Structure 1
Amino acid sequence: MSSVTSDDSADARTVRWRAGAGRVVAGTTLLTAVALLPWLSGTDPALTVLRARSADQDPTPAQLAAVREQLGLDEGPFTHLARWLGGLPRGDAGTSWVSGEPVLPEVTSAFAVSVTMMLGALVVTIAVAALISARTLYLGSRRALGQRRAGTGAAFLAALPKFLLASLLATVFGVWLGWFPSSGWAGPGSMVLPALALGVPSGAVIGGLLDQSLPATFHEPWVRTWHACGLSPGHIGLHALRGVLAGLLPQLLPTVVALVGGAVAVEKIFNIPGLGRLALDAAIAQDFPPLQTATLALVLLGVVAGLLIQALRRALLGPALRDGALSAPHPPALPRRRSTRRVAVFCALALVTLVVAGLLRDPLHVDTAARLLPPSAAHPLGTDALGRDLLARLGHGALRTAGLALAVTAVSIVTGLLLGMAGQVSAGLTEVMSTLPAVLVGLLTTAVTGPSVWGAACAVCLVGWTPYAAQAAALLEQERATGHILASISCGADSAHLLRHHLLPAVLPAVLRNAVLRLPTTVLVLASLGFLGLGEQPPTPEWGRLLSENQPYLELAPWTVLGPACALVLVSVLAVSGTASGRRGA
């Protein structure tokens, strides 16, 4: 028995060492890529700086050479990286290329704002999770838990895009009711709506997982024994919650990643001078020193959050289990009820109807006499500030967004399969890349390519392959252990034969099903990048861009954002239904 435990501990240490090494390699690669941004952008940084400073469109070679010498660009990328990293311990992160101000004080101030907002979001996350799971915890600790019912409302809330919820909260509680500030960072009241926008979906995720895990825990033999011994329901419930939390804490890391990624859009909507807003403005202006330092701060924030979560999990497990004898359980499946399937079918039909009706209209026709018209028979969703039909722009935007999502998914599948076949070699890279927010990668990509639809597609591809690689690696490992593979090898089958006739047929169908189920989520990610101005550019219609360009008219013409908002909600419902279906079929 001790030999088995020792082997398990050694395996756990090996896994932790490999994951740690992967994080170091991926972090070093990311920092190097960030330092290379001025040379990867494809444009002369000196020309960008001169245009930002003096709007000079035709500078002389002498002026460009002077700027390169001032910024140290002539010394090469690795000297630039060494100087930047060497200055950080001394409190010197360089100066902004645009404003000429020191970078570190600005980043430090923005970092404090972002951390404060994320702490508020964490409080909301815990409160929402407690509310969702409170009934199950109360009834289960008293042996009164009956048939579980799926938390459909919590699941839908968990899939609601944070930037869409932020826009809704800003409109209703900030503009219409005036209960809280809808813009700026002037005091504790300014933190309420952003914290709700970030914390409510995250709390719904954690609360849903708790709500589905607790019933199984309350049916374990030790619970019946403790009840028979007369222990109080509160004591039993506390220990059951501790055991479930130890298994679910690893799921908090994607939630923290979602907080970091969602904070960029939320800070833009509420005009908060945080780290995400600073990185967004620097990426669009190609002001690399603030972008480099803000990226490093965002990555460190995610790493520190991950280490704290691991430490808390080890504390909850206790000394007997913290060495790897007990692995975290698989995230519980969210069961689907027939009513959930009916809602999904209704949402799919409504979405198809909107798209088809919009495709029959011209999305670029401008009628200045029909500006900001409310919904009518001629314009079912109204018109925007230029008099363009919103239904037409919604339909054509859906076609472009769906086509781009399909292309991104295809590239991600191929990349995921190739890296998944590499096995342990790519395990660390897969783990680290899966924790990077797509928005952060989008900011870095925008700094290289500029705001464009292809830049947004590349950003999603850079992180979108990770679930397919993890799934492919697990399925390949399972398939290689089967008897028919061993029989084929004993009969002389080579690697090409095994791949073509055994491995790919076992892996590819499951990966393709996973990709189809994740397609609505890809649409939402592309829409969030478009909302931030990192994707499709005007006048081309795109859902996130529609929501962003019509947001200034919320108070005057709320119907201008109603169409894209409803479409995104419908896609969120389909994403939840697909995720539940995939987990149930897993």
Structure 2
Amino acid sequence: MNLLPRLSGTDPALTVLRARSADQDPPPEQLAAVRERLGLEQGAFTHFAQWLGGLPRGDAGTSWVSGEPVLPQVADAFAVSLTLMSGALAVTIAVAALVCARTLHLGSRRRLRRTRAGTGAAVLAALPKFLLASLLATVCGVWLGWFPSSGWEGPRSMVLPALALGVPSGAMLGGLLDQALPAAFHEPWARTWHAFGFSPGLTARNALRRTLPGVLPQLLPTVVALVGGAVAVEKIFNIPGLGRLALDAAMTQDLPPLQTATLVLVLLGIVVGMLLQALRHVLLGPALRDGALPALHAPALPRRRSLLPVAVLCAAALLALVVAGLLRDPLYVDTAARLLPPSAAHPLGTDPLGRDLLARLGHGALRTAGVALAVTAVCAVTGLLLGMSARVGLGLTEVVSTLPAVLAGLLTTAVTGPSVWGAACAVCLVGWTPYAAQTAALLEQERASGHMLASILFGADRWYLLRRHLLPAVLPAVLRNALLRLPTTVLVLASLGFLGLGEQPPTPEWGRLLSENQPYAELAPWTVLGPACALVLLSVLAVSGAASGRNRSRRRMA
């Protein structure tokens, strides 16, 4: 990581001086003194070896900007982040219990008719955490004054951040449980227990234990999302946590705290993964571990209502906003029209500089969508190639899947500086893992098929098998997955832009719009409501489009 400033072509001494005194043009003598004081002439590998050798002694170096020891800063920030994540985990469990409570109640009494987590829960699961945090801070913190909207001064300060992190994660986990529970209630043991008059509560608890092992592997991405989302949430609520420390260090290229915080976040993901595996091992028990019981299979239930009309409606609304905004100038500044409310001349109002928000929203959508399309294509191709190289891709996929996109964005920013292409590279670094996992699974299934075995027996060579069997089995599914993930990629890029890691002013970008206008939420709420509503529409589009795609896949398989 000590190579990052050198790879970026920037002078670390200049960056440190600017962070300390905001001096844009320091004299050469001052730069030379900073280089000598920090020991920058020793080289990147020497710095890294010194930092690594100091860790066992409890020495993580000193901050280049503040000059204070790094380890106490990281320890204090980690304590704050761990407290926040504990509260978020409690909210996650509570929301998950609420989402699947109806299925548990009806299933234990043999009155289950269909599986449904609810469209509302699905939308909450897809909401970006930075967007929910901004809405909670504005509505519950600023307008209503129920809880503090900034700072870390006691238990009340943890309520809104924990809700922002826990509600989407709980909705995701609860939706997965809600979809898996009906299969457990339709297994022979559940029907037998009901016939013998066992209590519904006992049946529900055992069905939950039967279902949890299959859902726990999906909890690791949820925890990874908690870690990544905490960076934005800590910034919004001004919480002195580990994510905020890493973000500030990345923006100033203060490498000692950045690499220490990164190490702690990566170790946290590894420890959580090990704990989840141990918990799954305990829940399975010897019977399920030895394969004595079959895997869960969804029962034949009535078909759910299609969400395709919802997707079409959201797409039409977004398209109308974008087209209307593209007809306006997003960079025109009118200081006499600062913070004007929505009107016929400015349908979404104006920002603090008097620029038309509808114009900036439309042009920002076009630019963000173009970058997201390029990122999705790169991720799909990379995932396809690595998924087909099982020996290389398998272990790499498991490791990279635990890395939040925000953390990758912090590291990329230390190389390239804040830019739209730096954010795109960050998403590409971690965004290929779903495609690689899907490709590997499809290839394994295709290699075991009868028609491919027949082709091998008839003497087909490797290129024939690749051209006629493997690629036709993989490419359509990967392409559909890429199209369904395109709105999600837009949301991830928006979250990086919100943190200041993406597009820079004055170019419009959705996350940047929300970040720039957030300080004016109390005085001019329309400045944040426009970008927020657009992101909500995009979230609903992503959820409904993915649900429609899954329903079509199930119908084809049937």
TM-score > 0.5, shorter chain as reference = yes
Counterpart of 1:318? 285
Cα 1:335–1:379, aligned 2, differ >3 Å: closer, same or farther? Answer: farther
Single out whichever of 264-273 and 309-318 deviates more from structure 2. 309-318
1:354 aligns with 2:325: no
Deviation at 1:142, TM superposition (A): 1.9
Deviation at 1:220, TM superposition (A): 0.8
Partner secondary structure for residue 246 of structure 1: helix
1:57 aligns with 2:31: no
Cα 1:329–1:401, aligned 2, differ >3 Å: closer, same or farther? Answer: farther
Which of 59, 68, 78 is the aligned partner of 1:111?
Answer: 78
How far apart in 2 are the matches of 1:299 and 1:180? 32
Which of 511, 524, 545 is the aligned partner of 1:557?
Answer: 524
How far apart in 1 are the matches of 2:367 and 2:493? 11
Counterpart of 1:578? 545
Q: Where do 1:521-540 residues align within 5 Å?
A: 521-540=488-507
How far apart in 1 are the matches of 2:19 and 2:185? 63
Whether the 8 Å CA contact 1:336–1:580 is kept in 2: the answer is no
Partner secondary structure for residue 508 of structure 1: helix
Which of 512, 515, 538 is the aligned partner of 2:482?
Answer: 515
Cα 1:152–1:254, aligned 2, differ >3 Å: closer, same or farther? Answer: same
Q: Name the aligned partner's letter for residue 50 of structure 2.
A: R
Cα 1:332–1:415, aligned 2, differ >3 Å: closer, same or farther? Answer: farther
Q: Where do 1:84-483 residues align within 5 Å?
A: 84-322=51-289, 337-338=304-305, 340-483=307-450
How far apart in 1 are the matches of 2:439 and 2:99? 34
How far apart in 2 are the matches of 1:445 and 1:116? 28
Deviation at 1:247, TM superposition (A): 1.5
1:100-128, CA deviations, whole angstroms, 9 ceiling, x for partnerless residues? 11111111101000000000000100111
Which of 28, 42, 57 is the aligned partner of 2:9?
Answer: 42
Query: How many percent identity over aligned positions?
Result: 82
How far apart in 2 are the matches of 1:500 and 1:300? 42
Which of 500, 504, 514 is the aligned partner of 2:467?
Answer: 500
Whether the 8 Å CA contact 2:442–2:474 is kept in 1: the answer is yes
Whether the 8 Å CA contact 2:60–2:70 is kept in 1: the answer is yes
1:568 aligns with 2:549: no
1:431-480, CA deviations, whole angstroms, 9 ceiling, x for partnerless residues? 11112110000000001110001100000001111111111122222223
Single out whichever of 134-143 and 380-389 deviates more from structure 2. 134-143
Single out whichever of 63-72 and 413-422 deviates more from structure 2. 63-72
Partner secondary structure for residue 9 of structure 2: coil
How far apart in 2 are the matches of 1:110 and 1:73? 27
Partner secondary structure for residue 503 of structure 2: coil
1:481-516, CA deviations, whole angstroms, 9 ceiling, x for partnerless residues? 334434444555433333233322221111111100
How far apart in 1 are the matches of 2:307 and 2:240? 40
Alignment RMSD (CA, Å): 2.2
Q: Name the aligned partner's letter for residue 226 of structure 2.
A: L
Partner secondary structure for residue 546 of structure 1: helix
Whether the 8 Å CA contact 2:491–2:535 is kept in 1: the answer is yes
Q: Name the aligned partner's letter for residue 118 of structure 1.
A: M
Deviation at 1:76, TM superposition (A): 3.3
1:187-214, CA deviations, whole angstroms, 9 ceiling, x for partnerless residues? 0000000000000011101111111111
Q: Name the aligned partner's letter for residue 199 of structure 1.
A: G
Deviation at 1:324, TM superposition (A): 7.3
Q: Name the aligned partner's letter for residue 46 of structure 1.
A: A
Q: Name the aligned partner's letter for residue 360 of structure 1.
A: L
Whether the 8 Å CA contact 2:307–2:545 is kept in 1: the answer is no
Cα 1:471–1:326, aligned 2, differ >3 Å: closer, same or farther? Answer: farther
Whether the 8 Å CA contact 1:246–1:328 is kept in 2: the answer is no
How far apart in 2 are the matches of 1:219 and 1:328? 12
Whether the 8 Å CA contact 2:249–2:258 is kept in 1: the answer is yes
How far apart in 2 are the matches of 1:331 and 1:69? 66
How far apart in 2 are the matches of 1:39 and 1:126? 44
Cα 1:355–1:333, aligned 2, differ >3 Å: closer, same or farther? Answer: farther
Partner secondary structure for residue 320 of structure 1: helix
Q: Name the aligned partner's letter for residue 57 of structure 1.
A: D
Whether the 8 Å CA contact 1:248–1:328 is kept in 2: the answer is no
Cα 1:75–1:563, aligned 2, differ >3 Å: closer, same or farther? Answer: same
How far apart in 2 are the matches of 1:430 and 1:579? 22
Structure 1, unpaired ranges of 5+: 1-33
Deviation at 1:227, TM superposition (A): 2.2
Whether the 8 Å CA contact 1:334–1:583 is kept in 2: the answer is no
